[in-house]
Amino acid sequence: MKKSSALNAWTDINSLLRTHKLINAGLLGLTLIQTVVIGMMYFSDPIVVIRSGESQEFLSGKRSNVAISEEAVKAFVEDFLKRRYEWDALDPRSKSKTLAPLVTKGLGKKLFGLLTHLKDQEFQGKETQQVIVNVKVDVTEQSVVASFDKLLRIEGIPIPVPTTISLNIIKGAANAWNPIGLYVNGIREHQSK
């Protein structure tokens, strides 16, 4: 009697193990199929939807690396200049957070130190405002040079400062805050006082 019940238990366990083996093999196959489908969807060309008013237009896009144009570099530099040189009240922490998506970490630390020095030592805590006007950006294969006029107001007194800067720009990873993927790695500033 004992042998018969032990044999039945053994057969039940083997049957259960075979069933689990089939279920696991099926789930593995389903997971592999899903992985292949997701991979195909990820690497396929995107569908672009353009909405204008009430209508929608569906276009098939192509994935490719697009060369960065001179106009895109100029727009990037103008955005950087506004973020770097314009403020209503100089706050180094706020400025460094604003500049962070456009500069490398090393330059970001240097700019934070420079802005802190300006606020504490140069302006000695006085109320300051600054805007830039007459921005001209010259982009060549070798260099990026921008010239503009800074209009600095210290306690309401305007001081115009003609400025020319040379920028060292490098290509990096694009992200939501910097979709073009350019980063300022160095600045050389020339001021006429």
- What is the reported pLDDT for 61? 75
> In the prediction, which pLDDT does 2 show?
63
Q: Quick one: pLDDT at residue 182?
A: 92
Q: Residue 192's pLDDT is what?
A: 66
CA-wise closest residue to 63 among 46, 48, 42: 46
Distance CA 17, CA 38 (A): 31
Question: Other CB atoms closer than 10 Å to residue 149's CB: what's the count?
Answer: 14
The Cα diameter of the chain in Å comes to 108
- Residue-level pLDDT, tens digit, the chain, 193 residues: 566 787 788 888 999 999 999 999 999 999 999 999 999 888 888 888 888 888 888 887 777 777 888 999 999 999 999 999 999 988 999 999 999 999 999 999 999 999 999 888 888 878 899 999 999 999 988 889 999 999 999 888 999 999 999 999 999 888 888 888 899 999 998 876 5
Cβ atoms within 10 A of the Cβ of 45, count?
A: 10
Residues belonging to the chain = 193
Predicted pLDDT of residue 59: 82
DSSP state string for 18-72: HHHHHHHHHHHHHHHHHHHHHHHHHHSPPEEEEEETTEEEEEE----PPPPPHHH
Query: Tell me, what's the pLDDT at 126?
Result: 86
Q: Please, are residues 71 and 79 in contact by the beta-carbon 8 Å criterion?
A: no
What is residue 130's predicted lDDT score, i.e. its pLDDT? 93
